[in-house]
Chain A
């Protein structure tokens, strides 16, 4: 395991930010730490990056205990925190040079590394401009670049794409993908289920400081199980259609009065069965759709609230 936490507990007064969390990240893979606001994601990242210490429990990176050898851990990790941690007054290049120097790169190396990263993150032209002139997306990219200055084998990304437009998000996903291809181990937190689906090999869902589910995206979707088929028919034909479809699968709550939703195990096979049954009953079909479960469904089911439902998350 490149990253491992065991029974992490961290309380802030009455707030149980982490209440006994364990998980591991296999070397060279991506773990998505998924959870609503206040779930404890950032707290876990801060413990793993040696910024704060847990009340109890252990955290290790590349087999090195974080509490015991924080210096060694810091040499091997990169962190892009939830909020871009960059110096607004300095230029992009100066920011990267500063981090390089603080990672003890010789002056010339810090310079060339800054140049290289600016290029990689599409910031070459903006490299000598103050960050005050950067857009949110540029700032995020610079923040990620700063996390990579000393070529860390393990990377922690706390909500790396929050606040980015879809285009910038795709760009950042591509960059993270490249890093993983180069062998970097990544732990990323996110509230975007699509992001976890897309980037993460393994997903750990936490809520109220507890792990409530873990597995691959496919496994998690499988736990919610059901694929649905939704059939839309002409207004008068609903009852007839309902009867015809009852042989295909149990009915669930439909979205509209003239729609029938049924729960099925195998989407593609059930579609054929449904079409045959409807055809045999000579019912005219206006629409037919297969709905696979999304991670959003999983999330809702597991946590009892939607990923972006801030209201219920804080309690």
Chain B
């Protein structure tokens, strides 16, 4: 039998992870993912230039064709553009994880004395930080092309907060796909149709009432619409509380389902 050369009390101590270490590992991984981002010009472009183009395109291309009662189209539009951007942007989480898996990095991380949670938490946190900048850039550009809110600055911040929370929730869905896919391309291919349907069959760019009945049923009862409705209420005014609660419930639900699934999957991937 094996002979224990290490004091059992020390083994017990080592098995116990300090909260400080867990947080530090997550921060280290966040730092690493953000550092990678700064080295990846295409992703930088994808993350910042594309949302700007979307704001401008929707503002000037569709803005002329679509009229919305009560508000300038750009005020209606911003909620859709924010949510659309972070929804497609969530792809990065899964692609990043699939790349780490492919590169064998996850294997190394699992042999290191680091907190196991750090890989997923660091990944999703880095994506949250990235989304923060994306949303900030888009909002600035939005203001430049005539966007205005009809509520309070606080409500606007609340709206942006909901957008960011939603992006964080979708990162966990993306993480699961990234951990299940054999490579980054597959993760991307699996994620894209899901979010495309969620974004385009939603209230993002046109009022749901303009859609055929069967599509309305879906469009009215899906998370992207719920989040957009809450964000619109917070920026345009009108009844707000119910919509915000409904958005938060969707967000919490997505995290509650996909975070544990991702963590379980992460434990099993090898």
Q: Which residues of A contact B118 (CB under 8 A)?
A: 102
| B interface bracket (residues with beta carbon within 8 Å of A) | 20 to 34
The CA of A58 and the CA of B104, in the complex, are separated in Å by: 25
Assess whether B5 is in contact with A62, with CB atoms less than 8 Å apart.
Answer: yes
Q: For residue B16, give the distance in angstroms from its CB to the closest CB of chain A.
A: 8
Q: For residue B213, give the distance in angstroms from its CB to the closest CB of chain A.
A: 48
Using A63-B5, A65-B2, A88-B103 as known contacts, say yes or no to A75 and B113 having CB atoms under 8 A apart: yes
Q: Which chain A residues numbered 251 to 271 have a C-beta less than 8 Å away from chain B?
A: none
Q: For residue B170, give the distance in angstroms from its CB to the closest CB of chain A.
A: 24
Q: Which chain B residues numbered 62 to 115 have a C-beta less than 8 Å away from chain A?
A: 103-105, 107-114
Assess whether B111 is in contact with A51, with CB atoms less than 8 Å apart.
Answer: yes
Assess whether A63 is in contact with B111, with CB atoms less than 8 Å apart.
Answer: no
Q: Name which of A79-87, A190-198, A274-282 contacts chain B.
A: A79-87
Assess whether B6 is in contact with A87, with CB atoms less than 8 Å apart.
Answer: no
Q: Does B11 contact A (CB under 8 A)?
A: yes
Q: Does A77 contact B (CB under 8 A)?
A: yes
The CA of A58 and the CA of B1, in the complex, are separated in Å by: 10
Q: Does B264 contact A (CB under 8 A)?
A: no
Q: Name which of B31-39, B133-141, B201-209, B226-234 contacts chain A.
A: B31-39
Assess whether A74 is in contact with B113, with CB atoms less than 8 Å apart.
Answer: yes
Q: Does B45 contact A (CB under 8 A)?
A: no
Q: Which residues of B contact A101 (CB under 8 A)?
A: 24, 28
Name the residue of chain B whose CB is nearest to the CB of A87. B105
The CA of A52 and the CA of B6, in the complex, are separated in Å by: 23
Using A52-B270, A71-B14 as known contacts, say yes or no to A103 and B36 having CB atoms under 8 A apart: no
Assess whether A63 is in contact with B3, with CB atoms less than 8 Å apart.
Answer: yes
Assess whether A51 is in contact with B270, with CB atoms less than 8 Å apart.
Answer: yes
Q: For residue A27, give the distance in angstroms from its CB to the closest CB of chain B.
A: 9
Q: Does A99 contact B (CB under 8 A)?
A: yes
Q: Which residues of A contact B24 (CB under 8 A)?
A: 101, 104
Assess whether A49 is in contact with B6, with CB atoms less than 8 Å apart.
Answer: no
Q: Which residues of A contact B107 (CB under 8 A)?
A: 46, 51, 81, 85
Q: For residue B247, give the distance in angstroms from its CB to the closest CB of chain A.
A: 35
What is the predominant secondary structure among interface residues of chain B facing chain A?
helix
Q: Does B185 contact A (CB under 8 A)?
A: no
Q: Does B127 contact A (CB under 8 A)?
A: no
Assess whether B4 is in contact with A50, with CB atoms less than 8 Å apart.
Answer: no
Assess whether A98 is in contact with B6, with CB atoms less than 8 Å apart.
Answer: no
Q: For residue A189, give the distance in angstroms from its CB to the closest CB of chain B.
A: 15
The CA of A146 and the CA of B111, in the complex, are separated in Å by: 12
Assess whether B35 is in contact with A85, with CB atoms less than 8 Å apart.
Answer: no
Cross-chain contact of B108 among A63, A85, A88 (Cβ < 8 A) = A85
Using A103-B112, A103-B114 as known contacts, say yes or no to A69 and B14 having CB atoms under 8 A apart: yes
Among B29, B36, B103, B112, max chain A CB count under 10 A is at B112
The CA of A89 and the CA of B15, in the complex, are separated in Å by: 32
Cross-chain contact of A72 among B14, B28, B29, B109 (Cβ < 8 A) = B14
Assess whether A71 is in contact with B17, with CB atoms less than 8 Å apart.
Answer: yes
The CA of A58 and the CA of B111, in the complex, are separated in Å by: 18
Q: Does A1 contact B (CB under 8 A)?
A: yes
Q: Which residues of A contact B103 (CB under 8 A)?
A: 85-88
The CA of A94 and the CA of B36, in the complex, are separated in Å by: 10
Known interface pairs A71-B15, A85-B104; 15 further A-B residue pairs with C-beta atoms within 8 A, sorted by A's residue number: A1-B2, A46-B107, A50-B111, A51-B107, A58-B2, A64-B5, A65-B2, A72-B11, A75-B113, A81-B107, A87-B103, A87-B105, A89-B40, A102-B109, A102-B118
